[in-house]
Amino acid sequence: MKKRVQLRKDVQAKQEGNQLKKALFIGSAILLVLVFVIGIFLYESERLDKSAKVAAQNQVFLARAHPPGLGPADAKVHLVEFFDPACGTCREFYPLVKDLMKANRDKMRLSLRYAPFHAGSDNVVRILEAARKQDKFWQTLEAVLASQSYWAPNHKAQVELLWPRLGNLGLDLERIKRDMYAPEIETVLTQDLADAKALNVTMTPEFFVNGRPLPEFGFEQLKKLVNNAVAKAY
């Protein structure tokens, strides 16, 4: 009899022990997630503080005169996009950015900078810049983006697959092939890549609105940043 009582006590103790273990496990899990979330908030708020200071320093790299642009020169909101012609997200952002420009006509201007991170896409940038010499930059850019899946299979830009897609734009393709490697185009590429590095651009597209980077990637975030800048400036 005594033995049984002892056993029952053992079982009870074991069950209590199990309860304790479960509480310990769940408590730790909640604590870990909590620390993670608090960490995100602390890190983000520190980064926002920094980004205001950084925005001023960024202007040096963002105020270059050479990049192709849209919108009036005296617009108070300056959107700079670093993009890669072979990047799918850049292609998807293109019409969205255009709509954003339309919605804020006369109030903002856009500068396009190159960040050809994909293999071979620097050659596509050369073609764009050479087309710019023939005043056909935007048409060419749109054709390049529209046919991206044909000339950039597996994220590798292949110029020979791009040529047939540029046939009906009225471009002098022979001239483009001659101009592609002109020293001034080389300079643009080097300058843009150097500025991208200085601005810590590691992914495309990357946007700067009056020097401020996106707090977090996404079109809604970009729209918000632009709208805030427009409201502040006008």
Partner 1 sequence: MSISEFEPQDYSPDGAWKLVFLAWLLASVSTLGALFLSQVMGIAPCVLCWYQRIFMFPLVFVLAAGLFPFDARLVRYALPLAVVGWTIALFHVLVVAGVVPEDLRPCAQGIPCKDQQIEWFGFVTIPLLSLIAFTLIGLLLLLTYFKASK
Q: Whose CA is closest to 91, among 76, 101, 81?
A: 81
> Exposure of 91 by Cβ count < 10 A (0-12 exposed, 13-18 middle, 19+ buried)?
buried
Give SS3 for 70.
strand
List binders of partner 1 among 43-62 (CB under 8 A).
Answer: 43-44
Looking at 10, 49, 92, 99, which residue binds partner 1 (CB under 8 A)? 10
Establish if 14 lies at the interface with partner 1 (CB under 8 A).
yes
Instruction: From 24-32, 73-81, 145-153, 163-171, give the range in contact with partner 1 by CB under 8 A.
Output: 24-32
The tokens describing 212, both together, are 């401020």
Residue type, 214: L
Positions of E strands within 102-230 = 108-114, 206-209, 212-213
For partner 1, the closer CB: 24 or 63 = 24
Determine, following the binding rule CB under 8 A, whether residue 197 of this chain makes contact with partner 1: no
Binds partner 1 by CB under 8 A, chosen from 16, 25, 181, 234: 25
Both tokens of 29, joined, read 């899990």
Measured distance CA(95)–CA(142) in Å, rounded: 10
Nearer to partner 1, 86 or 185 (CB): 86
Q: Which among 40-48, 61-69, 86-94, 163-171 is the span making contact with partner 1, rule CB under 8 A?
A: 40-48
Based on CB atoms, which residue is closest to partner 1, 187 or 202?
202
Measure the CA–CA gap between 163 and 160, rounded to whole angstroms.
6
Residue 12 touches partner 1, criterion: CB under 8 A = no
**Closest CA relative to residue 128, chosen from 96, 102, 166:** 166
Residues comprising the chain, all counted: 234
**Which of residues 39, 153, 164, 167 is near partner 1 by CB under 8 A?**
39
| DSSP label at residue 188 | H
Q: Which is nearer to partner 1, 19 or 57 (CB)?
A: 19
Q: Which of 19, 28, 57, 221 binds partner 1 (CB under 8 A)?
A: 28
Q: What's the min distance (Å) between Cβ of 35 and partner 1?
A: 8
Closest Cα partner for 128 from 116, 117, 119?
A: 116
Choose, by CB under 8 A, the member of 19, 23, 27, 29 that binds partner 1: 29
Q: Which stretch binds partner 1 (CB under 8 A): 26-34, 60-68, 120-128, 134-142?
A: 26-34
| Separation in Å, CA 202 to CA 82, 118, 128, 153, 156 | 10, 12, 21, 22, 18
Contacts to partner 1 by CB under 8 A: 7, 10-11, 14-15, 17-18, 21-22, 24-25, 28-29, 32-33, 35-36, 39-40, 43-44, 202
